[in-house]
Structure 1
Amino acid sequence: MSRYLFALGQFVARRRWWVLTVWIVLLVGAIGFAVGTGGKTNDDFTVPGTESQDAVSLLQQRMPAFSGAQMQVVFATPGMTKVTDQQAAGEIEQAMAAFKGLPQVAAVVDPFQAKAVSPNQHAALGSVQFTVSAGEVSQDTLDKVNNIAGSARDAGLDVEFSGGVYPGFTAEIPHTPEILGIIAAFVILLVTFGAVVAAGLPIVTALVGVGIGVGGIMGVAAFVDVPSAATSLALMLGLSCGIDYALFILSRHRHHIVLGMPAAESIPLAVGTAGSSVVFAAVTVIIALCGLAVAGIPFLTVMGLTAAGAVLVAMLVALTLLPALLSFAGGLVAKFISPPLNPGKAEEVARIAAYEPERTCGHAWGRFVTRFRIPLLVLGVAILAVLAVPATRMELGLPSGATQPDSSTAHKAYNVISGSFGEGFNGPLLVVTDLSHANSADAVQTLIGRLQQEPDVAVVQPAGTDNGLMLIQVIPKTGPDDSATADLVNRLRDDRDSIVSGTGATYLVGGTTAANIDTSKKLGEALPVFLAVVVGLALVLLTIAFRTVLVPLTSIVGFILSVFAALGAQVAVFQWGWGASLLHVTKGETLSFLPIITLAIIFGLSSDYQIFVVSRIKEEHTRTEDAVTSVQNGVAHSARVVTAAALIMFGVFVAFATVDNPIVKPLAFTLAVGVLLDAFIVRLTLVPAIMALVGNRMWYHPRWFGRYVPDLDIEGAELERRLTHDVEAEAQQTVTAES
């Protein structure tokens, strides 16, 4: 692999203008594609193979007007005023009548007709049924909904919304996280390289990659359903991976420059050596993200594929555009800044790293790890195990009004409904009943009576009928995120035969709450399968990469420890509420798709650091054949770069964790913790300690393995030997010719 990448580096450096032009054209084309198609993300989650999805399909076939999204409208009165007062009641009736006349509205349930008035008469609950799904409700309709609510607010009423769709339900994620992440990355790179050009190039290449990746995703969103979280995930990974991949190659190139190698020779060599690690790391991330399709849930598959596309673009940019820009930059990557308080420090650090690596902090850390390897192993594993304990109490769910930011209308509506009617009114179940073969006129009343007798059921009421179907709304006594609500859904399905007995009717339990429960269940079932796939993939890929079995085993154990420690931290903060006020977190269940996405991403990123650290250790072991010395030297060469890469990843994820979004915030927080733990505790501490403890046996592999498995030479040792041999042969020919 290293030979082909070396040739690619040579070609790109020589054709730098062509390469730069191609990437500019691709960037402009991606942006034009996004703008031209007008693609928009939407959060219409479908989960094939579940009863809630079957209920939607049945409605689409026989009651299409009721198959769309539903919006709840909460009216509340301040002070002593009641919603039943003449003026307040008139405003509410006028608002509901106005909602009924809007485009895409199938039906409106007036709170007074439905008797949905709180016992203290300070709140009324109405609903609006749309003919289309949430993602297809036009912005013009939502704007008119907001205007109607504004008139009611001007009259003194509090009006809030909840449900599958409402004004502002797809709140725009600000660009602040990207800006903060870029600033943090530039500062870290400036400290790492001590040169402005060297610090700026990874930022530039990463931004090009992100622009192409996100532009492509938004363009594709015009043709397929792309969840809004997909763009945030692609941004996080595209930006962080793009900077890290460029950092790996640039650091090797800068090392060569400091040693006196001409840029024309250094660029292809850097691509051939560090580029091999970049390819292997990126391919690992891409395969893991594509593996999200194992869950069989379309929106999760789309998230994985779009994020994988962003990582693929980041890899290609690092292997082609970066070398081209390095060719333009020449020796500027080693033009050091001179801080007034410590002039010459940056250049001194770079030269020490190049000529005397044993004097670096990385080498000192390597010596510390190899000397105290057993205590560090025990301490590191203990820390990760303790952090992982909360993960055993993980409860999966999807965002509801309770987990939305306090300032959002959905959160305010949730609180009003809970306090005035009961938490169950926030998550009604929709029982789609087929009366085609009903054998009595009172079949519906019999069915409603039996449903009302079920434990944990607060209210049962008809919600519409057409074409042989009856919609029955079942209001649980507990909230949509409560385990008792999930138990109720399962019980209504398990006891279906006894509930419909003698009526001739059949039913399906659906609605948003049931769909969320089904999604969480399906994701929970897919998690062990996905973990097995990821672990098996890691074993195969890392075994081929390093031609040994023990290195992949240590990597897998470390990955499992770090990912479950990150999930444990997420449970402690977002589910248990530890430090919730400090982080502005609203307590709730763990996002049902968060564990599987975290597994995929942390697996890929941990493989990045594993490959970069261990490849340098293997390179040193090939040269010295001494286990302890190779660990110390390998850590010395890789610690600074891996530290910078991990801090950049951490900074980008932390920046996104500041967003008040119930999906982006916990995901970014979990990834930030996972990267920090995996890079510093696992890859720079536990793995070197184990390698020093096991010694030369770490690199053992059976003879048959060496015969049948190709040597990919990801550390570039064979490439460097070949180049050295060519230089020596050329020098010998020159001497012979002169004599």
Structure 2
Amino acid sequence: MFDRIAELAIRRPRLILIVAFVAVLVMGAVGGGAFDRLRDGGFDDPASSSSRAGEIIEEKFGGETNLILLVEAPDGVDDPAARESGAALVAELRSEDGLANIVSYWETGSPDLRSQDGTEALVLAHVRGEETELAQHTDAVVDGYTGTYDGTLTVRAGGGAAIGSDMSTQVVDDLILAEVIAVPLVLLLLLVVFGSVVAALLPLVIVVIAIAGTFAQLAILGGITEVSISATNLTTALGLGLGVDYALLMTSRFRDRLAAGVRVEDAVRQTVVTAGRTVAFSAATVAAALGTLLVFPQYFLRSIGYAGVGVVAIAAVSTLFVMPALFMLLGHRVNKGRMPWAKPGAPVVQGSLWGRLARAVMRRPVLTALPVLAVLLASTAPLLGITFGVPDERVLPTGAESRQVSEALRDNFEGNDDAALHIVIDEPVAGPELAGYAVGLSALTGVVRVESSAGTFADGSATAVAAGNPGLGRDDAERITVVSGLTPASDAAQDLVREVRAIAGPGGSQPLVGGSDAALIDSKDSIGDRIPLALGLIAGTTFVLLFLFTGSIVQPLRALVLNMLTLGATLGVMTWIFQEGNLSGPLGFTPQPMELAMTVLMFCIAFGLSMDYEVFITSRIKELHDEGADNGTAVADGLGHTGRIVTAAAVLLAVSFFAFGTAQISFMQMFGLGSGLAILLDAVVVRGVLVPASMRLLGRWNWYAPAVLRKVHARIGLREGGTAPQPATVQPPSPAHPPLPRREDTTRV
């Protein structure tokens, strides 16, 4: 296959580039409409109890409260002027098409809607619509009513809808800043790595194709199924990183061949059948890791899976076809615009540093590996105390208005309406039975009040405001609101959800419990239930792909173990920082439980990119081994040839992720810093120390496979040039390690 791609590029380079150019124009036109079809949100399991509760409340009761206007009156909310202005504000809000279920202090007189000092009052409302429409309606209300109203009141917006709006706005700002930082740095680093203007610009061709193609894919999928707008963020980051990675590998190999005196046509052939094969297998491993996100029910994670698989596939295909065509037309002009520090006529890859490091490690494999293992395992320790949550107002900067409203609700009001539990019973319920059920709920620890059509209850009995809210009852359904004074997303708040769900429904009914804390529990359960499947798919597909790539069962197992060490250390450090609060001052975030969906996402991306570099290095080691080099020489020379490429690729990709460290949204910071750290740990520490140490200790076991699997690999495995390799003849080795070159013949601990 790779031979045929090379021949096509040699014979028809202009045709390939013309087709690619037209494809980019078409994909750009289609992808331009992606943002109109993508949606916000997607963090909840649509099949969960909390989601079904929300749907029934939306359908039969006009929706849960998701917008809270905090209204401040300096002279008190009961001042005549404040009452008049408050009534006018509520009247205007009722004229808004996007709002429903508007309840205010001035209409109800409920003391629960007035602050303890009497200077603030609440207006509760439900913003209609799905995620995108909801965001538009929320923005209209925030823009039209917050600030000074009627010269008397000060209005601020909070609640789930306003928090979501502030998050979306801040995420866009964070992404723009990250790209402004990352793109110039990547361009500068490309010049440093390649030492040539023309060579440094080549990866940008792949970047443009990958991003344009993936945006087109998302636009098409957005018209078919639910796709999160967050997928666009990953598209730009991975498109930039992988486009640079794959183009770097191909360009380095091509320039290497030219520097060795090979004709341009032969250099293209050798590049495609060696580096091209590596790109194909590398892309397959990354795509397999990101594809596991499709097993989760949250369309936020599934959307990242769509975008991840798409951008990897498009980047790999365009690298395999477009890069050889460019090489064929450019020839030796690929070195044009040489930088002053570049050595003319020298190969791009100079392996002395990484080769010397590998040889030094293999002389004392245990002595060099143990300190690294100790540091990685120590970094993993914080995972013992990890807890998970979902995004709330604390991920926003302290100056965000919706966060300030949430803090005021907790500090100044009795109970927190924003974090209330919303119970719905989708069948008729008799009044006395409903009242008895509400009384039981009101007696639970932490509950401030329970509101229902049968009355308002607190501490196990009816309150002074005993009249029921008729808007909470229908002939065919009942709705109950449970307001607590517990901190949202805390262990106590989640325990309350479990206690409420454990109480038998009135008249044998099956209540559904919704609200933010119920959604948190359901999200953790649904993701947790599928994590074993996701891990199994990642491990299984990685094992199969690396076996097909190497013909060994030992190499996939070694790669999986080393990747788990990297990921464990990375997640441990992120827990130490973002959950335990270390470095919260310099980074400017509020410590809180690890964001569950983003942690899963970071794991899958970091795993896939780690396998990317695994394939880069193993491909060259295997190539040298197949040419007859002994174990030590193959490892040392393989790392010598690929070490600089992997390091450069890792730094370039890490820069694009580290740029997210400037974000004001804390889970964006965590994702960017964690992904960048995992990439550097894997490319430098693991590949530089643990890979040569483990391969030295394994010796001839490195390429071992049972006889049955050797026959399987002989039939379906691929190697350079597309031919099947000969069956491995490696037998279980003797305890002695194979010799390294004579000057390195002694292994010491």
- TM-score norm. by structure 2 comes to 0.88
The separation in 2 between residues aligned to 1:10 and 1:137, in whole angstroms, is 54
1:590 to 594, 599, 603: 594
Q: Which residue of 1 aligns with 2:97?
A: 103
2:62 to 61, 66, 76: 66
Q: SS state of the match for residue 483, structure 2?
A: strand
The 5 A counterparts of 1:335-734 are 335=336, 337-339=338-340, 345-347=341-343, 351=346, 360-421=352-413, 424-434=416-426, 436=428, 438-439=429-430, 441-462=431-452, 464-494=472-502, 496-497=503-504, 500=505, 503=507, 505-710=509-714, 716=720
Aligned residues: 700
The separation in 2 between residues aligned to 1:260 and 1:636, in whole angstroms, is 20
Q: Structure 1: which amino acid aligns with 2:542?
A: A
Q: Report if the CA contact (8 A) 1:277-1:714 is conserved.
A: no
The separation in 1 between residues aligned to 2:219 and 2:81, in whole angstroms, is 47
Q: 1:655 to 1:153 in 2, by over 3 A?
A: farther
Say whether 1:43 aligns with 2:37: no
Q: Structure 1: which amino acid aligns with 2:412?
A: S
Q: Which residue of 2 aligns with 1:229?
A: 230
Q: Report if the CA contact (8 A) 1:44-1:135 is conserved.
A: no
Q: Structure 2: which amino acid aligns with 1:472?
A: I
The separation in 2 between residues aligned to 1:57 and 1:529, in whole angstroms, is 28
The separation in 1 between residues aligned to 2:376 and 2:123, in whole angstroms, is 49
The separation in 2 between residues aligned to 1:489 and 1:524, in whole angstroms, is 18
Q: Structure 2: which amino acid aligns with 1:351?
A: A
C-alpha deviation, 1:334, in angstroms: 2.5
The separation in 1 between residues aligned to 2:400 and 2:627, in whole angstroms, is 61
Residues 561-589 of structure 1 show CA distances to partners (whole Å, capped at 9, x for unaligned) of 11111111111111111111212222222
The separation in 1 between residues aligned to 2:682 and 2:28, in whole angstroms, is 35
Q: Which residue of 1 aligns with 2:731?
A: none
The separation in 2 between residues aligned to 1:712 and 1:581, in whole angstroms, is 55
Q: Which residue of 1 aligns with 2:314?
A: 313
Q: Which residue of 2 aligns with 1:278?
A: 279
Q: 1:67 to 1:133 in 2, by over 3 A?
A: farther
2:131 to 131, 134, 142: 134
Where do 5+ consecutive residues of structure 1 fail to align? 340-344, 723-739
C-alpha deviation, 1:713, in angstroms: 6.6
Q: Report if the CA contact (8 A) 1:105-1:130 is conserved.
A: yes
The separation in 1 between residues aligned to 2:519 and 2:418, in whole angstroms, is 14
C-alpha deviation, 1:322, in angstroms: 1.9
Q: Report if the CA contact (8 A) 2:127-2:138 is conserved.
A: no
C-alpha deviation, 1:625, in angstroms: 3.2
The separation in 1 between residues aligned to 2:29 and 2:721, in whole angstroms, is 43
Q: Report if the CA contact (8 A) 1:214-1:235 is conserved.
A: no
Say whether 1:147 aligns with 2:144: yes
The separation in 1 between residues aligned to 2:440 and 2:569, in whole angstroms, is 46
Residues 226-249 of structure 1 show CA distances to partners (whole Å, capped at 9, x for unaligned) of 223211122222221111111111
2:22 to 25, 28, 33: 25
Q: Structure 1: which amino acid aligns with 2:575?
A: V
C-alpha deviation, 1:638, in angstroms: 0.5
C-alpha deviation, 1:296, in angstroms: 3.2
- TM-score norm. by structure 1 comes to 0.89
The separation in 1 between residues aligned to 2:32 and 2:615, in whole angstroms, is 39
Q: Structure 1: which amino acid aligns with 2:440?
A: R
The separation in 1 between residues aligned to 2:222 and 2:242, in whole angstroms, is 23
C-alpha deviation, 1:103, in angstroms: 0.7
Bigger CA drift: 419-428 or 286-295? 419-428
Q: Which residue of 2 aligns with 1:733?
A: none
Say whether 1:161 aligns with 2:158: yes
The separation in 2 between residues aligned to 1:325 and 1:175, in whole angstroms, is 31
Q: Report if the CA contact (8 A) 1:425-1:479 is conserved.
A: no
Q: Report if the CA contact (8 A) 2:39-2:131 is conserved.
A: no
Q: Which residue of 1 aligns with 2:268?
A: 267
The separation in 2 between residues aligned to 1:558 and 1:218, in whole angstroms, is 37
C-alpha deviation, 1:84, in angstroms: 3.0
Please provide the CA RMSD for this pair: 2.6
Say whether 1:181 aligns with 2:182: yes
The separation in 2 between residues aligned to 1:262 and 1:719, in whole angstroms, is 23
Between the two proteins, what is the percent identity of the paired residues?
Answer: 26
Q: SS state of the match for residue 268, structure 2?
A: helix
C-alpha deviation, 1:26, in angstroms: 2.2
Q: Report if the CA contact (8 A) 1:452-1:458 is conserved.
A: yes
Q: Report if the CA contact (8 A) 1:184-1:651 is conserved.
A: yes
Q: Report if the CA contact (8 A) 1:275-1:319 is conserved.
A: yes
Q: Structure 2: which amino acid aligns with 1:559?
A: N
Q: Which residue of 2 aligns with 1:728?
A: none
Q: 1:156 to 1:100 in 2, by over 3 A?
A: closer
Q: Structure 1: which amino acid aligns with 2:498?
A: N
Q: Report if the CA contact (8 A) 2:198-2:337 is conserved.
A: no
The separation in 2 between residues aligned to 1:651 and 1:559, in whole angstroms, is 20
Q: Structure 2: which amino acid aligns with 1:465?
A: G
Q: SS state of the match for residue 569, structure 2?
A: helix
